[in-house]
């Protein structure tokens, strides 16, 4: 299965008035979050937003913004902040997810060229973190989403976070309801690793990038599915 590419082809409406989803990573000097923890937190935060009652309820305060964003390009922009600048973003509607020392907030979608003031000055791009050693990845199980980043595709942490978030979004939207209901009941957990897909194409989602930043158009950047334990 596949879906709209991040920053990829969408509708004419999206071309004329593109919207974006902002992810903000908290990056303190000490402790510095690890690369993989940021990806896990980003993927989970995106799905927590989509599963939030403020989005799922047609009368919810975030429903219209999310639906407008989903009509065209599925754009995700990763920003970073620390200290008081990160704390101030709590004034905007958002969800938050943590993994290890990583904290990621995802905010209601907005017009790409009309970014809320509290997000506008936060740095975009250039977020490149490391894993000090092999990342601790929990065992696979059918109620835990596995996001696999494509081996050999070099991406910064910010870019990879957007790709992991997009893979989680497609899993939430496209995989069978029985699987996503089980995932939701278990808390929408995510594990992230680098490796080629192991699931049948019918049992996973694939992310093909639009090629606007860092990778060539059509590059398979990530896949996601519920791998058996």
pLDDT digits (tens, 9 = 90+) for 95-135: 999 999 999 999 999 998 899 999 999 998 889 999 988 87
Query: Could you tell me the CA-to-CA distances from 220 to 106, 159, 182, 191, 204 in Å, in that order?
Result: 24, 13, 27, 18, 13
5 found inside a domain: no
124 found inside a domain: no
3 found inside a domain: no
4 found inside a domain: no
Asked if 157 and 128 touch (Cβ cutoff 8 Å), the reply is: yes
- Give how many domains the chain has, as a whole number: 1
CA nearest 104: which of 92, 96, 114, 112?
A: 96
106 found inside a domain: yes
221 found inside a domain: yes
190 found inside a domain: yes
Asked if 79 and 25 touch (Cβ cutoff 8 Å), the reply is: yes
> What is the extent of the structural domain holding 110?
12-114+137-225
Residue 9 confidence (pLDDT)? 34
d(CA 134, CA 35): 11
2 found inside a domain: no
Query: pLDDT category, 211, cuts 50, 70, 90?
Result: low
Task: Tell me the pLDDT of the chain averaged across its residues.
Answer: 90
Q: Is the pLDDT of residue 11 over 70?
A: no
Asked if 163 and 190 touch (Cβ cutoff 8 Å), the reply is: no
Query: Could you tell me the CA-to-CA distances from 81 to 7, 86, 190, 222 in Å, in that order?
Result: 23, 5, 23, 26
């Amino acid at each position: 299965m596949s879906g709209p590419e991040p920053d990829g082809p969408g509708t004419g409406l999206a071309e004329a008035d593109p919207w974006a989803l902002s992810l903000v990573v908290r990056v303190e000097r000490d402790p510095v979050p690890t690369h993989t923890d940021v990806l896990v937190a980003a993927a989970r935060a995106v799905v927590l937003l989509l599963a939030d009652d403020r989005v799922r309820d047609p009368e919810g305060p975030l429903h219209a913004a999310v639906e407008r964003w989903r009509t065209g390009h599925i754009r995700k922009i990763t920003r970073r902040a620390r200290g008081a600048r990160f704390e101030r973003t709590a004034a905007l509607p958002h969800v938050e997810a943590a993994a290890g020392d990583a904290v990621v907030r995802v905010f209601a979608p907005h017009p790409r060229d009309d970014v809320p003031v509290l997000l506008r000055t936060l740095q975009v791009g250039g977020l490149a973190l490391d894993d000090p050693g092999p990342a601790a990845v929990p065992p696979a199980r059918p109620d835990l989403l596995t996001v696999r980043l494509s081996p050999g595709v070099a991406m910064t942490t910010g870019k990879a976070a957007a790709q992991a978030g997009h893979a989680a979004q497609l899993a939430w939207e496209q995989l069978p309801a029985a699987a996503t209901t089980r995932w939701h009941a278990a808390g929408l957990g995510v594990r992230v690793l680098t490796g080629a897909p192991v699931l049948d194409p019918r049992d996973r989602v694939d992310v093909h990038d639009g090629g606007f930043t860092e990778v060539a158009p059509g590059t398979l950047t990530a896949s996601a599915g519920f791998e058996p334990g």
